[in-house]
Amino acid sequence: MVYDANNAKLLDTSKFPNDSIFEGMIIDITDGLVSQFIKESAKSKWEGDLNSNAILVKVEVKLEDDKSETFEQMFTYIDENGETLYTVNSNMGKFNKKYETTPMLQQKVKVITDSNGFAKIKIE
């Protein structure tokens, strides 16, 4: 290993083009706790309860040349007596307002990317 500050460059880890809008499809939903879905390094930065209920939604996006990529996005919720509850300002509430339902398998969603090419479901 040889560190060379003059030959250092940023590694592009994005899967998607920058600042774009795509159509995606929810291909998997995993139910669990926040602590199961976030990396160890992010747990100290998490402002909520790590033991909160959450779903991890996996979205497939078709790109050019029949290529597709996936990404995952987490939504928290409250489980009260077997009911899935959420607030209007939560990501689940915003999703419901935009798509008139909570996330479901095979559901089509709009996907937006930021200036670094990182994707998320458009909920606002």
Beta bridge partners of 95: none
* Upper half-sphere CA count for residue 46 (Cβ side, 13 Å): 18
Domain count, the chain: 1
Q: What tens digit of pLDDT does each residue of 33-42 get? A: 999 999 998 9
Q: Is residue 45 situated within a structural domain? A: yes
Q: Is residue 55 situated within a structural domain? A: yes
**pLDDT, mean of residues 14-27:** 90
Q: Is residue 10 situated within a structural domain? A: no
User: What is the C-alpha to C-alpha distance for residues 100 and 95, in angstroms, rounded to an integer?
Assistant: 8
Q: Is residue 9 situated within a structural domain? A: no
Q: Is residue 74 situated within a structural domain? A: yes
Number of residues in the chain: 124
Q: What tens digit of pLDDT does each residue of 51-107 get? A: 999 999 999 999 887 889 999 999 999 999 999 999 999 999 999 999 999 999 999
* Upper half-sphere CA count for residue 110 (Cβ side, 13 Å): 9
In 3D space, the residue among 70, 3, 59 whose CA is nearest the CA of residue 27 turns out to be 59
At 107, the amino acid letter reads: Q
Beta bridge partners of 84: 79
Beta bridge partners of 69: 61
User: For position 64, what pLDDT does the model report?
Assistant: 81
Q: What domain range includes position 28?
A: 15-121
Q: Is residue 4 situated within a structural domain? A: no
